[in-house]
Structure 1
């Protein structure tokens, strides 16, 4: 009986691992669509001449090529030519890998500055809006000294663009910052890195932040959503609130068997069973940048609870290096983090769409009040490929009336 157990159980485990690995290899870079959205090709948005405003949400561009060959920036150029001044580019954090913009003299400074200049060129010559957000890598990967690292990057961007709104929220404050992109379309920017940052982080008059208690951030965020129930609200941040990828606790079978590949892609040292300890730890407890970490979890819970009170919100973030869409309680949650890197994303779950490919999401707002989401993935140079499109329905409330007593 013991011999039977020792043979059958390992055999079953082996076949399960082999089948899972085969499934991942077969479907890894193929798009996943929720059953109801499989026929998305049949649905077409209004004509281009009714487009009021378009927002390109590019997450994690920190490893773009600096020689003019970057496929995502070429894809962005195609979008820019079509939209012109009726467009807004939002870089969703992790502007520079691996540690943001170091001080002059640092061994990574020259490369980081060149890469940042390439990204700045995409907004300086653009007649629309160009906005940069901070991510964890811009804050020195969340470590001590991250605040000064982020400020150095902010000052560099502001000096180059000569636009006070090109880096938001300013001074590393939590936000929220509101920008009216068009009548009926509001952009709200928040700094989610503030909540998971270790060490110094700004709050109060000393840092030129509008409040000294973080509870006031949540009150202000709720007020913005409450006062704008009559229009579409696009919330931009770095950290996602829903994700089927690594920061959401999803790992490949390869990461369970070869866990050292997380440190370097060529470290193929098999560590079955023991290798699963790292993914399980990230899933159950998490690093500071994972949804399962208590600090991240607390932030996520508060933000989701507030947004669940409304039905006109589109929340877009980066952080995980893929393209994902979730529709939860009449609101939409997007992960647009494959601006320069790609990483595994698990199919299914609560996602309506998921793809491991370079690209970004675009939000298009039309004169008839419709708002459409498009996922653009890299195809051939100077071309774009729409891999998913969906009309984002929302329930809007009448615009609040201002009375004489208000």
Structure 2
């Protein structure tokens, strides 16, 4: 009996792993759509309505090609031609891999400068505006010295990109920083890395931050959203609040069997069962950049508690290297983090749409009050890329007013 037991258990385990691996292989790099959105191709934006403003959400583009051949920047150029001066391109953090912009003399400095110059040039040649946000890699991957690393990047961008709001929030402060993109459309930028940063992080007037207690951040954010229920609000940050990918605790069967691939994709050393300890730890306790980590979890809980009070919000982040959309309690949550890398994303759950491909999300705001989200991805057959998903966003904001809106404090 013991012999049969010792044979049956491994066979069942291997069969389970093989079946799940086969399933993952079937849908990897294929789009997942929630049942109600399967026929999204038959839905089209209002052809006769004017686009008031268009926003390109470009996340985790830190490994951008510097020779003019980068496929995502080619997609961005196509969007620029369409949006013209009625657009904003927002870099959602992790603008430079692997460690942001190091000091002069560091072996990573030359490549980092070349990549940052490429991104800055993509904004300079555009008639609209560009905004950079910091991610964990820009903060030296959350280590000691990350604050100085981030300030170095901010200063470089501001020196080479003469736009008033080129880097937000300023000085590494938590925010929230608000910017009126168009009549009826407010951008709010949050520095989510501040909340999970391990090393020093600024707070108080000494560092040009407007408050000394972080609780004031949440008070200000709630007041800002409460004052602007009459218009659409786009919240841009680096860290997502919903994710079906690694930072959300989702791992592939391959990562369970070959856990050392987390260090390098070529480390294919099988460690079944024992290898599951790493994904289990990341899912239950988390690294500093994971949703399950106590700092990230606390930040996410506080933000969602505020956002759930309103229903005119689109929240956009990067961090996970894929494309995702969630609709929760009337608000929309986007992960647009495949600007230069792609990684596994699980289908189903609370997600409306998921895809593991290079690309980014575009938000189009129309004069009649409609808002459409659009996912654009790199295509081998079409230089202009392809639209992988499109959806009209339900909103309580009826239309864009003709008058100008005052700039929020």
Could you tell me the TM-score, scaled by structure 1's length?
0.97
What CA distance in whole angstroms lies between the structure 2 residues aligned with 1:147 and 1:282?
25
For 2:73, what is the secondary structure of its paired residue? helix
What CA distance in whole angstroms lies between the structure 2 residues aligned with 1:49 and 1:102?
46
Once the two structures are TM-superposed, the CA of residue 48 in structure 1 deviates from its matched residue by 6.8
1:286 paired to 2:286: yes
What CA distance in whole angstroms lies between the structure 2 residues aligned with 1:130 and 1:46?
26
Once the two structures are TM-superposed, the CA of residue 301 in structure 1 deviates from its matched residue by 0.1
For 2:338, what is the secondary structure of its paired residue? coil
1:260 paired to 2:256: no
Counterparts in 2 of 1:304 and 1:397: CA distance versus 1, 3 Å: farther
What CA distance in whole angstroms lies between the structure 2 residues aligned with 1:393 and 1:42?
17
- Deviations for 1:312-345, whole angstroms, at most 9, x for unmatched residues? 1000000000000000000000000000000000
Once the two structures are TM-superposed, the CA of residue 155 in structure 1 deviates from its matched residue by 0.3
Q: Which moved more, 1:5-14 or 1:336-345?
A: 5-14
The aligned residue for residue 386 of structure 2 is 385
Contact in 2 for aligned 1:229/1:397 (Cα 8 Å): no
Counterparts in 2 of 1:378 and 1:397: CA distance versus 1, 3 Å: closer
The aligned residue for residue 110 of structure 1 is 110
The aligned residue for residue 361 of structure 1 is 361
The aligned residue for residue 83 of structure 1 is 83
- Deviations for 1:8-40, whole angstroms, at most 9, x for unmatched residues? 111111111001111111110000000000000
Counterparts in 2 of 1:48 and 1:364: CA distance versus 1, 3 Å: farther
Once the two structures are TM-superposed, the CA of residue 279 in structure 1 deviates from its matched residue by 0.3
1:395 paired to 2:396: yes
* Correspondences of 1:3-402 after superposition (within 5 Å): 3-47=3-47, 50-380=50-380, 382-396=383-397
What is the Cα-based RMSD across aligned positions, in Å? Answer: 1.4
The aligned residue for residue 403 of structure 1 is none
Counterparts in 2 of 1:111 and 1:230: CA distance versus 1, 3 Å: same
Contact in 1 for aligned 2:369/2:398 (Cα 8 Å): no
The aligned residue for residue 404 of structure 1 is none
Contact in 1 for aligned 2:24/2:252 (Cα 8 Å): yes
What CA distance in whole angstroms lies between the structure 2 residues aligned with 1:192 and 1:299?
8
What CA distance in whole angstroms lies between the structure 1 residues aligned with 2:186 and 2:100?
29
Once the two structures are TM-superposed, the CA of residue 397 in structure 1 deviates from its matched residue by 8.7
For 2:139, what is the secondary structure of its paired residue? helix
Unaligned runs of 5+ in 2: 402-409
Once the two structures are TM-superposed, the CA of residue 255 in structure 1 deviates from its matched residue by 0.3
Number of residues of Structure 1 aligned to a counterpart in Structure 2: 400
What CA distance in whole angstroms lies between the structure 1 residues aligned with 2:383 and 2:121?
17
What CA distance in whole angstroms lies between the structure 1 residues aligned with 2:199 and 2:359?
33
Contact in 1 for aligned 2:282/2:290 (Cα 8 Å): yes
What CA distance in whole angstroms lies between the structure 2 residues aligned with 1:125 and 1:87?
13
The aligned residue for residue 405 of structure 2 is none
For 1:137, what is the secondary structure of its paired residue? coil
Once the two structures are TM-superposed, the CA of residue 49 in structure 1 deviates from its matched residue by 5.7
For 1:7, what is the secondary structure of its paired residue? helix
Unaligned runs of 5+ in 1: 400-406
The aligned residue for residue 407 of structure 2 is none
Could you tell me the TM-score, scaled by structure 2's length?
0.96
Deviation beyond 6 Å, 4+ runs, structure 1: none
- Deviations for 1:268-325, whole angstroms, at most 9, x for unmatched residues? 1000011000000000000010000000000000000000000010000000000000
What CA distance in whole angstroms lies between the structure 1 residues aligned with 2:186 and 2:2?
66
Counterparts in 2 of 1:282 and 1:141: CA distance versus 1, 3 Å: same
Once the two structures are TM-superposed, the CA of residue 46 in structure 1 deviates from its matched residue by 1.2
Once the two structures are TM-superposed, the CA of residue 156 in structure 1 deviates from its matched residue by 0.2
What CA distance in whole angstroms lies between the structure 2 residues aligned with 1:221 and 1:118?
33
Once the two structures are TM-superposed, the CA of residue 126 in structure 1 deviates from its matched residue by 1.1
For 1:26, what is the secondary structure of its paired residue? helix
Q: Which moved more, 1:48-57 or 1:346-355?
A: 48-57
